Amino acid sequence: MPGALKQNDELEESGESSEELYERMNITVDKGQEPFRLDKFLAGRMENASRNKIQQAIEAGRILVNNKIVQANYKIRPSDNIIIYSEKQVHGEEIIPEKIPLNIVYEDDDVMIINKPAGLVVHPASGNYTGTLINGVAYYLQQKNAAINEETLPRFGLVHRIDKNTSGLMVLAKTEKAVASLAKQFFDHTVKRQYMAVVWGDIAEETGTIIAHVGRHKRFRKLFDAYPEGDYGKEAITHYKVLERFGYVTLVQCILETGRTHQIRVHMKYIGHPLFSDETYGGDKIVKGTVFSKYKQFVENCFEICPRQALHAKTIGFIHPTTKKEMLFESELPDDMKKLIEKWRGYITSD
């Protein structure tokens, strides 16, 4: 089922979570398998999956056979490859609709594009049960359709998230089929995601690719770390390009090939360039530059201008679930990052 308007108990207390919320399961039918209805076959193979839920997932297009959409009564054959896209979420209480301002960039019957401000948690979790983006979406949907109440509130699909203190564009699915299409695109790494970030230090190369698994820190469980040997965590790939240099910090473009929890923040720290003002990964102190009074005061002023990791989800692109046309959306940098960049630009000009 798609990411419903329900509480996710597995999210971090900060309200931050992994970007991609669906995972893929592969089943290859045994060579000696007799013909059997697909829904019955899967009901016997998957734990905690009722036949009714499996039928709904098949109808939504989240279960494919040999990479094609089929019906629940499809008779499986030996060596068939079955792909199942399932959500990672654990649901709890229903979400309470709340009147929260939303910057909706685009909306149709299938998808909604929202430009999320920094400081707004995406989904309720421990410590953040209310006041989230999804609480606001629930209220928005009710206002559009007066017949909707808390019991009949439409299911609303989250297929990815961005961190609480990261700003920028998110896509949300409004139908089961849109969830299935977007989940597959995220998993296949075909969704275009471009971020802009201010990082500490003068990056040597103009462009580069960071390849290092990302997983929970082995000592501090609320943090994540890079594991370049690939022996822990999940595969993570970030491409970066230098846009502007300010001596002590650099403005970079980051393109995600994968979407792991805190991926850009962890990867940039791994190569020695933590995000500016990122208190979680060491960017909230002077990392580069001599600590003398004038410079120290300047940096502290910059922290006040942008008191969160300087990271913005600028671009998102995907194939529309229904029209099959390519959709591409871009957003401007928020004021705090604009002012931060201008301040650094002025600082190196005055030296």
Could you give the residue numbers annotated as active site?
163
CA distance 262 to 255: 14
Distances 123 to 3, 16, 132, 168, 179 between C-alpha atoms, Å: 10, 8, 6, 15, 17
Q: How many CA atoms lie within 13 A of 141 on its CB side?
A: 26
Which residues, in sequence order, are bridge partners of residue 111? Answer: 173
**Angstrom distance (rounded) from CA 192 to CA 23:** 18
Considering only the C-alpha atoms of the chain, give the largest distance between any 2 of them, rounded to a whole number of Å: 78
Residues 6 or more apart whose CB falls under 8 angstroms from that of 283 comprise: 199, 200, 269, 274, 275, 276, 277, 309
Question: Alpha-carbon distance 327 to 266, whole Å?
Answer: 29
What does the buried/exposed string (b/e) look like for 254-283 if buried means 16 or more CB atoms within 10 Å of the residue's CB? Answer: bbbebbbbbbbbbbbbbbebbbbbbebbeb
**In 10 A of CB 331, how many CB atoms?**
19
